[in-house]
Structure 1
């Protein structure tokens, strides 16, 4: 379960998105990642506490419907389904770009279809098979990142015979530690938080875990620690080894990404190809995990009468085949937008995901506050600080959302996201409210109780 969440979070946010964040804040982006880790921790731990008590179908969406209102459960789940579709599309576009790095003759659309077929096949297998494959993909990614941290530490503090150790000098060499001012640390959070998208999977996977109480307790604690360690140290060593202005210009071109630059300094033949393989696996793993999340979220919506009932159909192995098909259909639009030639498409897609996922995270924390105020007992662990910690997390999310005032890409995301939320509200009032059966939500909680 921890590896599935890691699989979603360790993707293009680190390998492609970090360059943009570095360009905004310079070396001080390290603080942005540290702050982002703290905000993400409140979400992961609050979800872990609730899910260990209620390993319900639909995860945090069903919990929001139970503890807040059916309307907020509806909005939470539809918003998150949109997030998963957008993220999966972005990751597959990245996979196709990495494939084209080796075989330029293969067009982007063909690469997208190839990798789409791979992740759809994985998701159509049994839940156990999916977990094994995702564990394998995420393990490769985690081992690669850990190896990068070790190599980076050697290069930074000991160096090589033909490459003296730079130490921490590059962190202040070009304009100081915060060359664009301390406000840039705040602005960079609008990019950094994309990197933590995926921690929600801890809640969604609980309903299919063999021992949810124990699994959630372990996964919630370890996932956020690993992510914080990986992101802060990876970015820190990149900035120690590569001038920040050079790293900021990486964009989406794998040949000039900060990680390729670092490995090139080792003088290892084919370092760029090795890195290309690793970032491809990272993107494929994240796409795979997000398709899983989107299909399960759509299945829960259909089961509760908030989506067409046929989307609740599952195979003999309890795989939501219709949910997978519908979630996969959304990839086409995202892929077309990504390779249409419009400049900065990936950045806009990241901003749209951040806009939607911040709303989802805020509702998760609000659900947690309602959960704790009811005095529910039976959770296998509790988030340190409880409600006050959740309130701190909410304040952090509000601060990230406030970057909409200064970041054009976040403003574009709001122009798309706000109408989408309004359409969802209208559909709820006109259709979903009458179709919803509160007994379905209670049935999900009854199933969860039997699992415990």
Structure 2
């Protein structure tokens, strides 16, 4: 019997990829992390989301340009092509670790939303059930993954739009329970900048975590039909997605309730509807939040398994991780991801109170490093393009250099901040281990 080829199918349709790009940006970062950013910066956190959105747009444009020239390379292979196996090894495993942590955070958030209906069940058990569901979805074909993600993403996008419309109605006094003087909430309670510039800077870590995932299209490009037509449209829509899915909801939350009254225990979205007095609205919103974080976790398992598959083909991960099923699903990569998710859920069993807040800071570091690597690869490869791409970054190389300097400044600020001590230690330790391992792998490959 002929052995099937270990390849990935181009089973993702245009509508799948467009929703995957949207879905990657909408998860715990906005629905639950927005309470953390509001507590750090107050209403001025909107500035952090706008600046972060600009940097994201530059990263996406650089990634899209490279994808036009090298359509058969995902993010990890582009970095490999630009800088060789050592840097690619660090970036690939860093991205895998990033998505492992993100997926654990999303599943824990899903468990916390389920506790709205099942308060007596422990967080770790609910998260474990959600994890088993998502892994089962990913073990089917990539087209089925894309279909599930399409509907998951559709629900949360419709919900966010509904939240903006209903929230605006509450804000302008069209519903019972509307605040008497809503617009005073933007300047009262310490002002628009209650914690000054330091508050905005501190919030950037969660903001970057929130935006991390948009670059998932750089992973999905090798399984996308007609990628050269689809990607430019997605990238050009980055700015309006940031405004629609982050800035407007934060403006509404800050107008309806004082920023210092937003509880970090739950989602500010549910809190807004609870205070509005609309019957059943909080429960409906909680269901939407559940589908949103399950969608992000679904994307996380997809990203981790495909990253491992790609690295195994270049010798930067064990060769057995390139094995696929007859449906071209990298089953061993998904299984390894499942083991680490189980370990993360066990941490929730040990420290159920602080686990989400602690873990949310670590992907912020890894996403920053990945974005810098993408921009650096674009600067390096631009002069080596075999053909001129139909989509390219304007005013090259100024935007990429500006973004690299800005991201590096933010990264150094996080490291020097005492507030991020735990996340800094874990992130630098991971970076040290990967750098040390890269030298061992380089030496082995030479031998």
Q: Which residue of 2 aligns with 1:185?
A: 200
CA contact (8 A) 1:206 1:212 kept: yes
Q: What RMSD, in angstroms, separates the aligned Cα atoms of the two structures? A: 2.0
Residue 291 of structure 1 pairs with residue 301 of structure 2: yes
Q: Which residue of 2 aligns with 1:19?
A: 35
Residue 431 of structure 1 pairs with residue 441 of structure 2: yes
Post-superposition CA distance 1:153-198 (Å, at most 9, x none): 2222353366366453210022211011123212211221111010
* Counterparts in 2 of 1:433 and 1:118: CA distance versus 1, 3 Å: farther
66, 70, 85: which one aligns with 1:54: 70
Q: Which residue of 2 aligns with 1:229?
A: 244
Post-superposition CA distance 1:29-74 (Å, at most 9, x none): 11111111111111111111111221234x1111111112221111
Shift of 1:376: 4.7
Q: Provide the C-alpha distance between the structure 1 equivalents of 2:446 and 2:334, rounded to a whole number of angstroms.
A: 22
Shift of 1:226: 1.1
* Counterparts in 2 of 1:425 and 1:156: CA distance versus 1, 3 Å: same
Post-superposition CA distance 1:173-228 (Å, at most 9, x none): 22211011123212211221111010121100000001111111122222453133
Q: Provide the C-alpha distance between the structure 2 equivalents of 1:179 and 1:113, rounded to a whole number of angstroms.
A: 39
Q: Which residue of 1 aligns with 2:189?
A: 174
Paired residues for 1:94-105 under 5 Å? 94-105=109-120
Shift of 1:114: 1.5
Q: Which residue of 1 aligns with 2:323?
A: 313
Q: Provide the C-alpha distance between the structure 2 equivalents of 1:11 and 1:166, rounded to a whole number of angstroms.
A: 31
87, 90, 102: which one aligns with 2:105: 90
Q: Which residue of 1 aligns with 2:46?
A: 30
5+ residue gaps, structure 1: 438-452
Q: Provide the C-alpha distance between the structure 2 equivalents of 1:44 and 1:411, rounded to a whole number of angstroms.
A: 30
CA contact (8 A) 1:137 1:281 kept: yes
328, 341, 349: which one aligns with 2:338: 328
* Counterparts in 2 of 1:87 and 1:217: CA distance versus 1, 3 Å: same
Q: Which residue of 1 aligns with 2:18?
A: 2
Q: Which residue of 1 aligns with 2:123?
A: 108
Q: Which residue of 1 aligns with 2:283?
A: 273
Q: Provide the C-alpha distance between the structure 1 equivalents of 2:446 and 2:146, rounded to a whole number of angstroms.
A: 31
Residue 418 of structure 1 pairs with residue 428 of structure 2: yes
* Counterparts in 2 of 1:81 and 1:53: CA distance versus 1, 3 Å: same
Paired residues for 1:130-141 under 5 Å? 130-141=145-156
Q: Which residue of 2 aligns with 1:449?
A: none
Number of matched residues? 431
Residue 65 of structure 1 pairs with residue 80 of structure 2: yes
Post-superposition CA distance 1:403-432 (Å, at most 9, x none): 325543532222112222222222222235
* Counterparts in 2 of 1:429 and 1:399: CA distance versus 1, 3 Å: closer
CA contact (8 A) 2:100 2:304 kept: yes
Shift of 1:240: 0.8
Partner SS state of residue 206, structure 2? helix
Q: Provide the C-alpha distance between the structure 1 equivalents of 2:366 and 2:177, rounded to a whole number of angstroms.
A: 48
Q: Provide the C-alpha distance between the structure 2 equivalents of 1:370 and 1:400, rounded to a whole number of angstroms.
A: 22
Q: Which residue of 2 aligns with 1:440?
A: none
Q: Provide the C-alpha distance between the structure 1 equivalents of 2:422 and 2:397, rounded to a whole number of angstroms.
A: 33
Q: Provide the C-alpha distance between the structure 1 equivalents of 2:218 and 2:134, rounded to a whole number of angstroms.
A: 21
CA contact (8 A) 1:2 1:222 kept: no
* Counterparts in 2 of 1:163 and 1:409: CA distance versus 1, 3 Å: closer
CA contact (8 A) 2:128 2:345 kept: no
CA contact (8 A) 1:65 1:72 kept: yes
Shift of 1:372: 1.9
5+ residue gaps, structure 2: 1-16
Q: Which moved more, 1:20-29 or 1:110-119?
A: 110-119
CA contact (8 A) 2:177 2:277 kept: no
Q: Which moved more, 1:407-416 or 1:283-292?
A: 407-416
Q: Which residue of 2 aligns with 1:450?
A: none
